[in-house]
Amino acid sequence: MFDWMVVGAGFAGAILAERLAAQRDDRVLVIDRRDHVAGNAFDAPDAAGVLVHRYGPHIFHTNSEAVFAHLSRFTDWRPYEHRVLAEVRSPATGAAMRVPIPINLDTINRLYGLDLTEAEVEAWLAARAETPREIRSSEDVVVAKVGRELYELFFRGYTRKQWGLDPSALDKSVAARVPTRTNRDDRYFTDRFQAMPRDGYTAMFGRILDHPNITVQTGIDFAEARRRFRFRRLIWTGPVDEYFGFRFGRLPYRSLRFRHETRDREWALPTGTVNHPAEATPYTRVSEYKWMTGQRHPQTSITYEYPSAEGEPYYPIPRPENQALYKRYEALADAEADTWFVGRLATYRYYNMDQVVGQALATFDRIARTVPPRAAEGGAAPGRAGIGHQVEPAHVVSGVPGDRR
């Protein structure tokens, strides 16, 4: 008999499993239908020996000292500040070029052949910005900051590919945090803590789950696991609509398809990621992992990302009707006895990795306050069900989630 079954060995599941085992001496079974732990953060050497992220680049960044300190118990870090270039054509000359994204002073000067100062570029952008009657959509947010031309160049095509919708049909929250900088700061993120696990994410997850009270079973789904194992309580980190048998219909998600390639040269890109905003280009971005991991290798591996309407769920689509559908599932989740719903898919929110960690830690605190430990209860006792503690929405840049997944 396990005290807990945790469905999903990604950040939410692994963090909670470790806390339950280490702090409460509970017996925990962690299952995952994939053949590995670490969720979408899974990394492993490819055939060439280059460490790659199977599900696209995961860049860790956070402003939370508590989250960073907690993960630091399981990994050393390699400092890394991610930088991204966008491959576009200059509106002034038509020449193809790669410029910093988010938009900054150098982006504008290179695109238009200018030599503006910080004060001058601020005025330059203000002169091109439009003032919508009401800020309702992602399009409204962007044109109010940078005007129509830069919106068309950087955001419209990229967003249509990423979300399968025009920015005018997407909630304003998608682009509400799009930074526009008037200085030369070309970092993709500006968080206080920016680093990569020194030995990779999979190694970090191995240490998180390395506890005598934790049993890990991969390659098994929930239906099979609940037939084979007895448990008192459940932590669910999968899609909330799946848990309830899609009772009200499927929640809409965007998915991704990845094309991994190895190049027989030391480097392929000038930085970690190159975005391709043009709608005619089927992929949204290309990433090179050695920039992120610091690995030295005579060859290099890159990943192309193709958004898709079909496949594994990655991004909840932020539209009012989708949120209304989720609220119906949330009501069911709140009433489900001895079951906690935690993580991106279970709470239908795009969370960065640090936010999932924060939500898991907050959920553990709630469990610790409300559920007697095994030694005290002497058997199964009712627990408070429901949705994990919510955190602030994820940082989003250029119409695409910041660190992925």
pLDDT tens, residue by residue, 168-224: 999 888 887 678 999 999 999 999 999 999 999 999 999 999 999 999 999 999 999
Q: In this structure, is residue 57 part of a structural domain?
A: yes
Beta bridge partners of 32: 218
Say yes or no: 222 and 335 in one domain.
yes
Which residue do the tokens 């993709």 mark? 188
Say yes or no: 320 and 244 in one domain.
yes
Identify the pLDDT of residue 178: 74
Say yes or no: 37 and 119 in one domain.
no
Name the helix (H) or strand (E) containing 236. strand 231-236
End-to-end CA distance of the chain: 33
Beta bridge partners of 29: 5, 215
Number of helical (H) and strand (E) elements in the chain, helices listed first: 14, 20
Instruction: Please state, for a pLDDT cut of 90, what percent of the chain lies above it.
Output: 87
Q: In this structure, is residue 136 part of a structural domain?
A: yes
275 in Cβ contact with 86 (< 8 Å): yes
Q: What is the pLDDT of residues 123-148, one digit of tens each?
A: 999 999 998 888 989 999 999 999 99
Supply the range of the domain harboring residue 18: 2-79+194-251+316-387
Q: What is the DSSP letter of 187?
A: B
Say yes or no: 16 and 46 in one domain.
yes
Mean pLDDT of the chain: 93
**Amino acid letter at 294?**
G
Identify the pLDDT of residue 350: 87
Say yes or no: 65 and 110 in one domain.
no
Q: What is the pLDDT of residues 47-78, one digit of tens each?
A: 999 999 999 999 999 999 999 999 999 999 99
**Amino acid letter at 185?**
D
Q: In this structure, is residue 65 part of a structural domain?
A: yes
Q: Indicate the number of domains in the chain.
A: 2
Identify the pLDDT of residue 397: 36
pTM: 0.92
Say yes or no: 242 and 323 in one domain.
yes
Say yes or no: 233 and 340 in one domain.
yes
Say yes or no: 349 and 377 in one domain.
yes
Say yes or no: 26 and 163 in one domain.
no
Q: Which candidate, 233, 272, 341, 274, places its Cα nearest to that of 86?
A: 274
Q: What is the pLDDT of residues 309-362, one digit of tens each?
A: 999 999 999 899 999 999 999 999 999 999 999 999 999 998 999 999 999 999
Say yes or no: 175 and 33 in one domain.
no
Confidence of residue 376 (pLDDT cuts 50, 70, 90): low
Q: In this structure, is residue 375 part of a structural domain?
A: yes
Residue 24 has pLDDT above 60, yes or no: yes
Instruction: Please state, for a pLDDT cut of 70, what percent of the chain lies above it.
Output: 92
Say yes or no: 243 and 344 in one domain.
yes
Q: In this structure, is residue 227 part of a structural domain?
A: yes
Residue 396 has pLDDT above 50, yes or no: no
* 287 Cβ contact list (under 8 Å, min separation 6): 56, 57, 269, 272, 273, 274, 302, 303, 305
Say yes or no: 328 and 234 in one domain.
yes
Q: In this structure, is residue 145 part of a structural domain?
A: yes
